[in-house]
């Protein structure tokens, strides 16, 4: 069984999006797409000025967005009439398909806001499908817990804990892992998947080979293999995300991700002409 090692360590880029929300972007800083993953943002601050503007109404087509809240609250509204509040521990998994206009606005005036948004590509045959949602409350998620670690399973399976996202075309794994100092986390990953770890807090060692020090808010692209081993050099918290590549051409235009530039132009035309949302 081939062991998984570190392929690349990426320090996130400080940027902003929406109405000035400050965030750290580690996938999607052109052109570092990591099929099937298009973007990964970490947003988080105790300063309300860093997030209070939120993400006012904006369109999407051809992607899935996965929003995972660790602290604070966001209210979601969209063009289908959907509305809901995301609180700490909740996940919103949205398939935008042919088109949706939505907003994500903080419902708090002060305090800590912290979370992630992941963009997953959709294959060409699904890009013009009807938008759909999976709202996953924190108490709906199964958690594996023992004396060494805690693993919240959003997608995929770890021992007897299985995530609520099933039957997905990229066979995703999305774990939130807390590992105690001096302990190890081991997991078997499909050899044809692209995988990464996003370290949130602490310091970890991955695999058996020596590598540069990795601490806090760091993206770690993994080599392909089957056996992943992570050792905690301090108490650590990290995301493990994995998925099967789609292997199609990507054309990106802001919030739209299609296969050709012509399809991007059509998305823009549909949006401005009022035919975007069906």
Nearest to 183 by CA among 233, 109, 133: 233
More confident residue, 49 or 62: 62
30-45: average pLDDT? 89
**Predicted confidence (pLDDT) at residue 31 exceeds the cutoff of 70:** no
**Predicted confidence (pLDDT) at residue 33 exceeds the cutoff of 90:** no
The verdict on residue 1 lying in a domain is no
128-140: average pLDDT? 90
Q: Which of 102-111, 174-183, 206-215, 252-261 has the highest mean pLDDT?
A: 174-183
31's tokens: 């052109």
Average pLDDT, the chain: 93
Q: Please report, for the domain that includes residue 19, its CATH number.
A: 2.60.120.10
5-11: average pLDDT? 95
The verdict on residue 207 lying in a domain is yes
The verdict on residue 90 lying in a domain is yes
The backbone torsions φ and ψ at residue 24, rounded to the nearest 5 degrees and listed phi first, read -115, 120
The verdict on residue 254 lying in a domain is yes
Task: State percent of the chain over pLDDT 70.
Answer: 99
pLDDT value at residue 18? 86
pLDDT value at residue 274? 78
Range of the domain at 231: 6-273
Read off the pLDDT of residues 177-234 as tens digits, 9 standing for 90 and up: 999 999 999 999 999 999 999 999 999 999 999 998 898 999 999 999 999 999 999 9
More confident residue, 210 or 82: 210
pLDDT value at residue 100? 93
The verdict on residue 278 lying in a domain is no
Cα separation of 32 and 53, whole Å? 27
pLDDT value at residue 140? 85
The backbone torsions φ and ψ at residue 244, rounded to the nearest 5 degrees and listed phi first, read -80, 130
Radius of gyration in angstroms for the set of CA atoms belonging to the chain, rounded to a whole number:
18
The verdict on residue 98 lying in a domain is yes
The verdict on residue 260 lying in a domain is yes
**Predicted confidence (pLDDT) at residue 278 exceeds the cutoff of 70:** no
Binned at pLDDT 50, 70 and 90, residue 122 comes out as very high
**Predicted confidence (pLDDT) at residue 154 exceeds the cutoff of 80:** yes
More confident residue, 77 or 174: 174
pTM: 0.95
58-78: average pLDDT? 93
The backbone torsions φ and ψ at residue 184, rounded to the nearest 5 degrees and listed phi first, read -125, 150
Number of domains in the chain: 1
**Predicted confidence (pLDDT) at residue 25 exceeds the cutoff of 70:** yes
DSSP string, the chain: -PBP-EEEEEPPEEEEETTTEEEEEEE-STT--BTTEEEEEEEEES-GGGTTT-EEEEEEBSEEEEEEEEES-EEEEETTS-EEEE-TT-EEEEE-TT-EEEEEEE--SSS-EEEEEEEEE--GGGTTSPPEEEEE-GGGSEEEE-SSEEEEEEESEETTEE-SB-S-TT--EEEEEEE-TT-EEEEE--TT-EEEEEEEESEEEESSS----EESSEEEEEPS-SEEEEEESSSEEEEEEEE-------EEETTEEESSHHHHHHHHHHHHHT-S--
């Amino acid at each position: 069984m081939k062991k998984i090692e570190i392929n690349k360590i990426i320090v996130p880029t400080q940027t902003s999006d929406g109405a000035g929300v400050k965030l750290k972007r580690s996938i999607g800083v052109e052109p570092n797409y990591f099929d099937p993953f298009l973007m990964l943002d970490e947003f988080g601050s105790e300063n309300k000025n860093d997030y209070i503007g939120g993400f006012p109404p904006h369109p999407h087509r051809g992607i899935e967005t996965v929003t995972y809240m660790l602290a604070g609250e966001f209210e979601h509204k969209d063009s289908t009439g959907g509305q809901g509040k995301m609180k700490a521990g909740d996940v919103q998994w949205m398939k935008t398909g042919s088109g949706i206009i939505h907003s994500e606005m903080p419902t708090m005036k002060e305090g800590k806001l912290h979370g992630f948004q992941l963009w997953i590509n959709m294959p060409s045959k699904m890009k013009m499908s009807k938008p759909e949602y999976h709202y996953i409350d924190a108490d709906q998620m199964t958690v594996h817990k023992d004396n060494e670690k805690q693993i919240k399973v959003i997608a995929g399976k770890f021992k007897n804990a299985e995530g609520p996202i099933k039957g997905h075309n990229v066979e995703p794994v999305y774990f939130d892992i807390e590992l105690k100092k001096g302990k190890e986390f081991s997991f078997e990953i499909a050899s044809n998947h692209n995988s990464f770890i996003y370290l949130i807090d602490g310091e970890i060692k991955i695999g058996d080979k020596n590598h540069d020090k990795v601490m806090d808010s760091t993206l770690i692209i993994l080599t392909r293999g089957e056996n992943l081993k992570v050792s905690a050099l301090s108490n650590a918290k990290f995301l493990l995300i994995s998925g099967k590549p789609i292997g199609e051409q990507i054309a990106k235009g802001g919030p739209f991700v299609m296969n050709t530039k012509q399809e991007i132009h059509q998305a823009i035309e549909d949006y401005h002409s009022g035919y975007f949302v069906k």
